[in-house]
Chains A and B, each alone.
Chain A
Amino acid sequence: MAGTAPNGACAAGGAACAAEIAKILGVAATATEKRVALVKCCGTRSEAIRVGDYNGICDCGIAAATAGGDKGCKYGCLGYGACANVCPQNAISIHDGLAKVDKRLCIGCGKCVKVCPKGLIELVPASATIHVLCNNPVRGPEVRKVCGVGCLGCHLCEKNSGGKEAGHFTFDGFLAKVNYANPPTDGQIVAKCPAKCMSEDAHFESGH
């Protein structure tokens, strides 16, 4: 054993588990922060364009392998529930063609992150409240052709949260990404997003 693994590495166990392990090992507990899965897409059936009828197996992986899936946006959530099927906590459900994570049930195990063929699920700190719900890095006009709520890369969220120096956002092509090491907290920027792809709390509460 190398003895280098942090005692807080078990996402499902959380801080209590880390403390127990630290006690057994006789070391200080590593500070852990609860992380939960976030589905970075908000293109519901009414907002995102479907380019075909898919009547194959209800599985995202196989739908994605069939001409990239029936969604016009090649980066968006297909809504066939591969993530929901692997979730050990039943924390994910499909609403209006979109996967939603119940923040209270999610233990941050990351199985959904691995199974998503579009790679649009990310583990984010549970304390973060402002999210960009889009995964499409192409230019705004191209995004608009396929989705009514896709990120246009207009940088307004960055401007309204104190500019580039504040460092709340990073950009991948024409896609804004929240810098979760330094997340924005001002809810104003959500309302000001012209693309309507931001959310103040994206996590769905299923009422389990």
Chain B
Amino acid sequence: MKTVNSPFKFKGGVHPDYNKELARAEQIERLPLPGELVISMSQHLGAPAKCLVKPGDFVRRGQLIGEKNGFISVCVRASADGKVKAVEKRPGPAGGLADAVILDTTVPPPEGAEPAAVALPPLDWKTAAREELLRRVEEAGICGMGGAGFPSAVKLNPPPGKRCEYLILNGAECEPYLTADFRVMLERADRIRVGVEIMRRILGGPAVRIAIEANKPEAIAAMERAFADIDGNVEIVVLPVLYPQGSEKHQIYATVGRTVPEPPALPIDVGCVVENVGTVAAIADAVEKGEPLLERVTTVSGDAVANPKNILAPCGTKYADLLAFCGGLKEPAAKVISGGTMMGFAVPNLDIATTKTTSGLLFLTRRRVFQYASGACINCGRCVRACPMNLNAAEISKAVEANDVAAAEALHVMTCIECGACSFSCPSYRTITQFCRKAKASIRARQAAERAAAAKAKAAEEEKKAAEARKEAK
């Protein structure tokens, strides 16, 4: 095991105010169980889980309440004992409505109920078969906890013909304000170590790279201690402080110097699997302790919060409960952001609940919130310089503004990772990232329509052939 400096630096990137000092020294604190949980069926990327419970049911902690629904999907388990009050559509952090189970945790178990058991039997990862470990990751409902929420069981099971050469642990945490991953690295280093060994077993012994930004020396030291006696090819890679260093593609480039091609290519196409450090710790708990992914560390920070904290809270905790645990607001908040300031979503109220991917909740005062009117592009090129994906963001934004999505597609808008570096650097306050999102959404809708049309045409063709065959047979 050795520590090295990142040998590769990607082009572009920006330096926002990190403001991590607000919460970085706060130890992870466990939130007392809230009276009501709102457990969404769509906490991950892909198809929402299928709800298995109905109002009036009593569910136990760890019980399966949402079934995996498709290949790119993740199951959902109850974060606590409680009675199902309702199953209804609730808005998620990003605004989309999804089925959610409203759980009243103050109701005691019904008379004669069996005592709560461990949801899953613990496994000995040293002897368990690879398939068994993979199934456990799936059963425990684990998805990437960095933000996108890609199902981990899919990520850890490369398609035939592809091999994982590098397992990269994402500990960059380049989003401003957030310190959840940092605290996990400090306080749960042993769990990360176990998680790495399990994942190495599942992936067939790839080299391991632990990527951490240079502004977290304590985390680097903690990882060095935890991995000091590990055998095999393991390196801690110290990355320069630069946003978006935590982006999967940029992390792969910064650690092993490989470039992921344009979508639909995935990191596995260049032999890499990237997992967030929190996810790795969750995998360790799922296998060794039989503990599904039911809770996560969320940073509650911002200059309006009385006591910024890193909170270990059950998935489905309402934002209002998190804020109350931090002593409320010391100043009126002008904006509440779920996630980090660069890629997070502004939320309209505090009834929204955390999911498996909620890494932070920020309350910002008027001083930190900038109200602006978007102007015309002045061709200064700052967004082009800032774009870490080598895109001509200025031209894309102008094309989308003129409703010319085809031109934006020709400018490779689909490779945009929506990091926000372009909008951040624009002196004309143009909503460039949003233009890219708009173009991507309409291109995706068009592609889906094309696929559906092609499938329909194929079905019609086959039907015709079958009809002809029947005719001939007669």
Contact = CB atoms under 8 A, between A and B. Distances in A.
Most buried by A among B345, B373, B401: B345
A207 interface: no
Interface in B59-117: 91, 94-97
Interface in B400-432: 401, 403, 431
| Category for how many chain B residues contact A | 20 to 34
A68 B91 contact: yes
A74 B441 contact: no
A67 B442 CA distance: 18
Interface in B357-408: 371-374, 401, 403
B372 A55 contact: yes
Nearest to A66: B95
A67 B348 contact: yes
Q: From DSSP, what is the main secondary structure of chain A's interface residues?
A: loop
A57 B94 contact: no
A141 interface: no
Contacts of A66: 95, 345-346, 434
| Category for how many chain A residues contact B | 10 to 19
B435 interface: yes
A140 to B, nearest CB: 15
Given A52-B348, A61-B438, A69 B374 contact: no
A74 B349 CA distance: 13
Contacts of A53: 371
Interface in B433-469: 434-435, 437-438, 441-442
Contacts of A57: 374, 401, 431, 434-435, 438
A65 B348 contact: no
Contacts of A59: 438
A62 interface: yes
A181 interface: no
B373 A55 contact: yes
B226 interface: no
Given A55-B371, A55-B374, A62-B437, A74 B346 contact: no
A11 interface: no
A183 interface: no
Contacts of B91: 67-68, 74
A59 B374 CA distance: 14
A56 B349 CA distance: 19
Interface in B154-188: none
Interface string A62-92: 1011111110101000000000010000000
Contact of A69 (B95, B349, B435, B438): B95
Interface of A: 51-53, 55-57, 59, 61-62, 64-70, 72, 74, 85
9 contacts: A51-B348, A52-B346, A55-B374, A57-B401, A57-B438, A65-B94, A65-B437, A67-B94, A67-B345
Question: Which 8 interchain pairs have the tightest Cβ spacing?
Answer: A68-B95, A67-B95, A51-B348, A62-B438, A56-B434, A56-B431, A57-B434, A52-B348
Interface of B: 91, 94-97, 345-349, 371-374, 401, 403, 431, 434-435, 437-438, 441-442
